[in-house]
Structure 1
């Protein structure tokens, strides 16, 4: 029982049954192993002590006379090989039958596809081959008769030590032990798997050694490994976002570019659902695109937003190909491109506003509304010079209390008089005053070369020591109001600063340098528009004065055409000529 239960092959021990004339007509099962049960589909209790004609109802009327084949072995002691087809499983099985004593026989069989290249050796305690079983004589590199009775060392010197080691391990653990090894010849290379199991029968050790040719399997594994390594290299070096996902939205594999762009580790993303990272406003459109992929349609140039680990979002453009239930996709971060397009659009919109035939205050109102929406700001405003001070010309979002305290930037002494700098210029307070007076330091990360000031976290300025603070009388009202992100951009006419564009946000990290540069371009356009408005105003004033002089001058003033006709005359001429 110990021997049979540990065999990899299906095993049966049977007694032949003969008719009155002595011809084999049936056989009875004495013992079977669990592998035999698995293949036949019956339990041991349903087989033992039963006739084969009862176990296999079509045995007698079948195309193969099994009692005759097995009876010839049982009665004459001639080993035979056999094959049969299992109708239910659709599998061919290959086996051998031998007789331990007259009237009895033992069968061993395995699935043909697995057995064709197998060699089974039975060794005694001294590692001498007692018996060999193979279903293809060509597999044996040595004739069968030259193997039986030979010591392992003489027939397998290259792997003898490894087999003996496996035999010893099987003795100690009472378990099957296996190993793989390559075999090189001048023309080919093969791989084999050897499985060894120890049995103790009547106080004598025996070993069953099964050697299988796994060359095809190994070559497939190496090919798969090579393709995997190639895929790994492709995933590793590619700058695009690469992923394999299923149509349910689960990531199965991503490359390291995801970590570099979104900030998550590869482990954070794999086995997660990609809908967990998509901006809520993009979910519906993403579902529609996934439905296309589920119907095996490619998706190109689809853009949605993915949440980064820091909470920000990136615009991702996709090229996706379905294959069954899986999606193979390459994507790229186009956030800079999208931001650039949005900034160009905003700038173009503002230029259009500045060229509309409306007054300046209406223009500023529309411009600030566009800026507020684009940045997601909570408050925006423009201060313009007026009698030495810089009050808000127009603003939106600031509280009444804030405006009452912050509208003027003038620094006053205890008597309420305006403070002046050493050069006699009016002293302006806080960061706004620093930007308007042009006293910014480009080497300080708070300031830009253009002279703007911006911060994505203003709160640490409350702890800035007085001797390190470049501002005059810092009020910190913006900070106390809870504004974390603040940008102050000078509005210039040529080299003169005539005001500032102010953008305040309660949320941190609302500005990057490209956004501040955009605000600087907008401020420069506002400055040019104001300069144009000033020049238009001056021209209008000059025209009005000229008209007044023309109408009320005591001199005779007229304008004639080249032919001498009057085109225009003033009042005094009309009075004289009646």
Structure 2
């Protein structure tokens, strides 16, 4: 194997300088690498090759290698030479480098992305239904959206960290994605932040999903204003009495802004003859 990797036969290598036969460089810098034999003989210790070591064979072929070098001692313990053991790890190195580069691209993508990105594991109840999820990774944009730091989120459940998320169908949707493998896009309003998000969810593995969030609040507000304006005009153009029109307008406003209760009182000639409400309790109305 050593003859194959170096390109020198034993007879050809005999008597030649080690650096000519065992020509190694750093794979990333292309600079000459320190020869482990020199140190093993000089210090009398076992020496391993540094990472990213490339052996250049006699014909110019390059191999990624891993090796170790140990001193040879005589009966009195004096170092009289060294034994060098090395092996071809080119395929292992290539796979490792591809993985490293992929992880680096992922890191750069997520760190600089405008969209919020989160990776999570689903939490299931005894019947197998998704009820929560635990954060595995989030990017800086996600931190800005939720107002929480990555270190505080990782390993914690969404139910414990995100106010009001238990009232949203997010865990159920992620569960469906994890079960079917089908990616989904859905809009979600977050009352605690008064923000709208477009969420794209993808399956990463068994019980694991990734989600990409985009804040669409300005778009939704604009759409809601347009929809409400259109609805108010339709109501006002209808052949109904003014009090009924007010009530219907109030219902339309309540639906658009997703509030629990809303009221309206209109003034006329110093009095307030028109009043309408939606969602208030009788006790509250009696108190006011």
TM-score per shorter chain, which class?
0.5 to 0.7
Match of 1:258 in 2: 142
Match of 2:65 in 1: 192
| Alignment equivalent of 1:179, drawn from 46, 50, 54 | 50
Match of 1:360 in 2: 242
Instruction: For structure 1, list consecutive stretches of 5 or more residues without a partner in the other structure.
Output: 1-116, 120-136, 404-578
Q: CA 1:156–1:184 in structure 2 vs 1: closer, same or farther (change >3 Å)? A: closer
Question: What's the CA shift string for 1:139-193, capped at 9, x where partnerless?
Answer: 343222455676645644766953245426864xx56543242245775433223
Question: What's the CA shift string for 1:268-315, capped at 9, x where partnerless?
Answer: 555444454362221xx33432332233331423333457xxx41433
Match of 2:184 in 1: 300
| Alignment equivalent of 2:83, drawn from 187, 208, 223 | 208
Q: CA 1:268–1:209 in structure 2 vs 1: closer, same or farther (change >3 Å)? A: same
Match of 1:217 in 2: 92
Match of 1:450 in 2: none
| Alignment equivalent of 2:205, drawn from 302, 319, 324 | 324
Q: CA deviation at 1:198?
A: 4.1
Q: CA 1:170–1:274 in structure 2 vs 1: closer, same or farther (change >3 Å)? A: farther
Match of 1:526 in 2: none
- Relative contact order, higher structure (CA 8 A, sep 6+): 2
Q: CA 1:394–1:279 in structure 2 vs 1: closer, same or farther (change >3 Å)? A: farther
Q: Give the structure-1-normalised TM-score.
A: 0.36
Question: What's the CA shift string for 1:356-409, capped at 9, x where partnerless?
Answer: 5554345445545665674748775445252xxx444445689899x8xxxxxx
| Alignment equivalent of 2:216, drawn from 334, 339, 342 | 334
Secondary structure of 2:66's partner?
strand
Instruction: For structure 2, list consecutive stretches of 5 or more residues without a partner in the other structure.
Output: 25-31, 124-132
Secondary structure of 2:7's partner?
coil
- CA distance in 2 between partners of 1:175 and 1:235 (Å): 42
Would you say 1:289 and 2:173 are equivalent positions? Answer: yes
- CA distance in 1 between partners of 2:122 and 2:116 (Å): 18
- CA distance in 2 between partners of 1:156 and 1:375 (Å): 74
- CA distance in 2 between partners of 1:169 and 1:349 (Å): 89
Instruction: Give the count of matched residue pairs.
Output: 258
Verify the 8 A CA contact 2:235 2:249 in the aligned structure 1.
yes
Match of 1:5 in 2: none
Q: CA 1:157–1:362 in structure 2 vs 1: closer, same or farther (change >3 Å)? A: closer
Verify the 8 A CA contact 1:298 1:322 in the aligned structure 2.
yes
- CA distance in 2 between partners of 1:379 and 1:271 (Å): 40
Q: Give the structure-2-normalised TM-score.
A: 0.64
Verify the 8 A CA contact 2:228 2:252 in the aligned structure 1.
yes
Q: CA 1:166–1:270 in structure 2 vs 1: closer, same or farther (change >3 Å)? A: farther
Verify the 8 A CA contact 1:176 1:197 in the aligned structure 2.
yes
Question: What's the CA shift string for 1:521-544, capped at 9, x where partnerless?
Answer: xxxxxxxxxxxxxxxxxxxxxxxx
Secondary structure of 2:181's partner?
coil
